[in-house]
């Protein structure tokens, strides 16, 4: 396990329902790491073990395991494909050495596949393509390969051609080995002659592969042009080199539910994918100088690692999971360069699904975990204190949907649980809306927040309610008026008398409130004038027309009268409040609504749909830009129109659209909408 050259570290990526977890399960079973072939559908998978995953039959969190095959140690990361949990896949892809890209033989290339291919290409990761579910009705290997060629610049090369399809999927043709491999029990194969009906296409594929492999290396292309072919040795060596350099993506076929083709994929992982010491060094910065430095994946380099996942457990505490990039970690402490502190730990583990196995040291390529760290969080760089390095922080997917969160019973327990989950999931945000006094929980999508709700109930035995947040409208006025406010109560007991005349007028947006005292002489004694201002400020908080805070108002106190005995601060406070409420009604009061600035990234085919939809939401498109292969649409849209925009954009673009949103400014609510809001307030 500690020989770096024998370690493989790979992440399984692919769109939802492409069979990632089932593939992981089959690989583990074939290699003997698990005793039974678990299934996602009946909740027995060793990689989908969280309650929410079993219930929904989808992966929600990245899961980890390892296996031994051909004297190699393979560390596997199984990731979610659902848009709501794609951040787990993103972080895992940023620390893995290589990828298995799964694409279903029935569904083919989906819109979401593009995102996972981007993860692979952004890091130039070596990649094997697994066309899964070959045993399903309408499975079409050739069509899927053509879709991959058309959609992506991956240079897919068929390494194993399926023999049969659907219920008749019974083996593969090994293009390099020039043989047929028929499936036997437990994911294994036995060699035989290539069926006659596949001999022609097999020869063509071998020729194509030679061309692809030759093109990756100058010496090989020269040899190929001179001799017209490559030897088996050259082909195998060139193929492995081409894969490791990211120039070729070999294509496999499998049916993992029946464990058909697993041993072939395991051979591909161990023979074609790189060991950590064969990968390019990882780049970081020197915390002291800011200079770029590198760490090679070898044991005698200084230790360095990065935390890419934190798991909250009510019993075991926080479990911190990190990938070792260089050096050897043993002992009981390491330096956290991100927090500039040393951390002690009790035991090193490797993850085996929901179980953990203790180890005495960790070397490059290994994914390891420690429990109960105090300071360390996701994204932190761990290293040798005598050779510090900082890796780029992991940027989570943006939070795009928010709900007001409240406890069904125990509020303190709920927010304690949420705080624990914020450590685990960087796409979750908790904020307080000052005006509405609501606590908002924000996430990547509706399903994401519903899964958080389920997890909190299961793990921490506390229930939370999610509600659509209130819109923080505001009130102001457009006109100018002079008005008297008089409070007089002089029957029985101590009397009350306060009388003020004020001028109300609008201020420029954002200036909130200004009070000017223009009293000449002693018509209102000095000690009572601040009470007028205080009464107006308190009344502004509650609004006049719809109960929302009043803003951007200038009040000038110009006249009034008082009573020697009955006047008091309270009386003038009430008088100020009365004057404000009366004056607002006379000075063309209006409602203001928050306008959000949106940036929507979408493929060219859906730009028209998105812009039409924004117009229907009272949005103003500010402009368009090109963002790589996509279009970037910028717009101002009222907050009330986009509260649940995330699922709408997903259905409109087939999952291809993403967006960010931030507060921009306030604008007047159109009269017909303002009337409804005011009527609702009056009826409440």
Last residue of a domain, one of 587, 605, 625: 587
Q: Is residue 11 part of a domain?
A: yes
pLDDT per residue as tens digits for the range 376-386: 999 999 999 99
Q: Give the CA angle between residues 676, 403, 399 to the nearest 5°.
A: 120
The total of structural domains in the chain comes to 5
E strands of 36-117, at which residues? 63-69, 72-78, 98-104
Q: Is residue 600 part of a domain?
A: yes
88-94-99-102 Cα dihedral, nearest 10 degrees: 30
Residue 448: pLDDT band with limits 50, 70, 90: confident
CATH classification at residue 96:
3.40.50.300
Q: Is residue 510 part of a domain?
A: yes
Minimum mean pLDDT range among 55-69, 75-89, 203-217? 55-69
pLDDT at 292: 94
pLDDT at 117: 92
Q: Is residue 393 part of a domain?
A: no
604 burial level (CB within 10 Å; 0-12, 13-18, 19+): exposed
Residue 628: pLDDT band with limits 50, 70, 90: confident
Q: Is residue 394 part of a domain?
A: no
Q: Percent of the chain, pLDDT > 70?
A: 95
CATH classification at residue 528:
3.30.230.10
Note whether 273 and 292 are same-domain residues: no
Note whether 308 and 193 are same-domain residues: no
Q: Percent of the chain, pLDDT > 90?
A: 53
Note whether 229 and 270 are same-domain residues: yes
Q: Is residue 613 part of a domain?
A: yes
pLDDT per residue as tens digits for the range 23-49: 999 999 898 888 777 666 666 666 656
CA 21 to chain centre: 20
Note whether 174 and 306 are same-domain residues: no
Q: Record the tokens describing residue 477, joined without a space.
A: 């006025």
pLDDT at 55: 62
Q: Is residue 390 part of a domain?
A: no
Residue 459: pLDDT band with limits 50, 70, 90: confident
Note whether 490 and 349 are same-domain residues: no
pLDDT at 423: 80
State the Cα–Cα distance between residues 524 and 528, nearest whole angstrom: 7
Task: Answer yes or no: is pLDDT of 438 > 70.
Answer: yes
Contact 576, 611 (CB under 8 A): no
Q: Record the tokens describing residue 518, joined without a space.
A: 């223009």
Q: Is residue 54 part of a domain?
A: yes
pLDDT at 664: 92
State the Cα–Cα distance between residues 16 and 112, nearest whole angstrom: 8
Task: Answer yes or no: is pLDDT of 314 > 70.
Answer: no
pLDDT at 212: 84
Note whether 15 and 53 are same-domain residues: yes
CA 455 to chain centre: 17
Last residue of a domain, one of 278, 309, 330: 278
Contact 291, 359 (CB under 8 A): no
Note whether 583 and 597 are same-domain residues: no
CA 53 to chain centre: 17
pLDDT per residue as tens digits for the range 499-555: 999 999 999 998 889 999 998 888 889 999 999 999 999 999 999 999 999 999 999
Note whether 196 and 131 are same-domain residues: yes
Which backbone phi and psi does 48 adopt, to 5 degrees? -105, 90
Note whether 452 and 515 are same-domain residues: no
0.75 cut: is pTM over it?
Answer: yes
Task: Answer yes or no: is pLDDT of 339 > 80.
Answer: yes
pLDDT at 424: 79
Mean pLDDT for all residues in the chain: 89
Q: Which domain holds residue 602?
A: 593-683
Note whether 203 and 172 are same-domain residues: yes
Note whether 100 and 193 are same-domain residues: yes
Which backbone phi and psi does 408 adopt, to 5 degrees? -70, -40
Last residue of a domain, one of 383, 418, 435: 383
pLDDT per residue as tens digits for the range 354-369: 778 889 999 999 999 9
Task: Answer yes or no: is pLDDT of 492 > 70.
Answer: no
pLDDT at 51: 59
CATH classification at residue 452:
3.30.70.870
Residue 57: pLDDT band with limits 50, 70, 90: low
CATH classification at residue 655:
3.30.70.240
Note whether 254 and 302 are same-domain residues: no
Q: What is the mean pLDDT of residues 103-119?
A: 89
């Amino acid at each position: 396990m500690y020989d770096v050259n024998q370690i493989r570290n790979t992440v399984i990526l692919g769109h939802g329902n492409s069979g990632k977890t089932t593939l992981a399960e089959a690989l583990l079973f074939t290699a003997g790491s698990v005793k039974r072939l678990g299934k996602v559908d009946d909740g027995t998978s060793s990689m989908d073990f969280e309650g929410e995953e079993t219930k929904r039959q989808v992966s929600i969190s990245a899961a980890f395991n390892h296996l031994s095959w051909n004297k190699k140690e393979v560390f596997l990361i199984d990731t979610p494909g659902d848009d709501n949990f794609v951040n787990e896949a993103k972080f895992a892809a940023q620390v893995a050495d290589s990828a298995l890209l799964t694409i279903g033989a029935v569904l083919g290339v989906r819109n979401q596949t593009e995102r996972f291919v981007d993860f692979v290409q952004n890091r130039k990761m070596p990649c094997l393509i697994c066309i899964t579910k070959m045993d399903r009705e309408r499975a079409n290997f050739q069509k899927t390969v053509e879709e991959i060629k058309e959609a992506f610049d991956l240079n897919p090369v068929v390494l194993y051609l399926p023999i049969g399809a659907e219920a008749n999927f019974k083996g593969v043709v090994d293009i390099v080995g020039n043989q047929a491999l028929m499936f036997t029990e437990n994911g294994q194969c036995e060699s035989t002659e290539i069926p006659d009906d596949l001999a022609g296409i097999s020869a063509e594929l071998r020729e194509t592969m030679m061309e692809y492999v030759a093109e990756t290396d100058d010496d090989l292309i020269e040899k190929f042009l001179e001799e017209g072919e490559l030897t088996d040795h050259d082909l195998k060596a060139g193929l492995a080199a081409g894969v490791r350099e990211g120039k070729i993506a070999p294509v496999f076929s499998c049916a993992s539910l029946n464990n058909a083709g697993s041993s072939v994929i395991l051979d591909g992982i161990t023979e074609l994918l790189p060991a950590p010491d064969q990968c390019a060094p990882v780049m970081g910065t020197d915390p002291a100088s800011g200079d770029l430095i590198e760490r090679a994946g070898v044991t005698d380099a200084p230790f360095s690692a990065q935390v890419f996942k934190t798991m909250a457990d009510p019993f075991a505490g926080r479990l911190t999971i990190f990938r070792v990039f260089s050096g050897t970690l043993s002992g009981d402490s390491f330096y956290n360069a991100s927090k500039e502190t040393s951390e002690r730990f009790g035991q090193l583990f490797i993850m085996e699904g929901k179980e953990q196995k203790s180890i005495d040291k960790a070397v490059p390529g290994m994914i390891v975990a420690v429990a109960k760290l105090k300071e360390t969080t996701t994204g932190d760089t761990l290293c040798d204190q005598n050779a510090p390095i900082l890796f780029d922080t992991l940027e989570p997917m943006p939070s795009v949907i928010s709900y007001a969160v409240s406890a069904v019973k125990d509020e303190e327990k709920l927010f304690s649980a949420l705080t624990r989950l914020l450590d685990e999931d960087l796409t979750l945000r908790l904020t307080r809306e000052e005006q509405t006094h609501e606590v908002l929980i924000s996430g990547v999508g509706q399903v994401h927040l519903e899964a958080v709700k389920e997890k909190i109930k299961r793990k921490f035995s506390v229930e939370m309610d999610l509600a659509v947040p209130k819109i923080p409208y505001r009130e102001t006025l457009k006109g100018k008026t002079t008005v008297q406010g008089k409070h007089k109560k002089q029957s029985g007991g101590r009397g009350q008398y306060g009388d003020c005349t004020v001028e109300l007028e609008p201020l420029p947006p954002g200036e909130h409130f200004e009070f000017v005292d223009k009293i000449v002489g002693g018509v209102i004694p000095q000690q009572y004038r601040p009470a007028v201002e205080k009464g107006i400020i308190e009344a502004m908080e509650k609004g006049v027309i719809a109960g929302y805070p009043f803003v951007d108002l200038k009040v000038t106190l110009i006249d009034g009268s008082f009573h020697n005995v009955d006047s008091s601060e309270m009386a003038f406070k009430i008088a100020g409040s009365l004057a404000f409420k009366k004056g607002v009604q006379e000075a063309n009061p209006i409602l203001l609504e928050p306008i959000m600035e949106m940036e929507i990234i979408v493929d060219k085919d859906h730009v028209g749909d998105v812009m039409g939809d924004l117009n229907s939401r009272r949005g103003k498109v500010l402009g368009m830009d090109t963002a790589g292969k996509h279009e970037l649409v910028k717009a101002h849209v009222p907050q009330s129109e986009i509260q649940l925009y995330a699922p709408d954009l997903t259905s409109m673009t087939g999952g291809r659209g993403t967006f960010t949103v931030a507060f921009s400014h306030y604008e007047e609510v159109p009269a017909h909408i303002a009337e409804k809001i005011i009527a609702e307030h009056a009826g409440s």
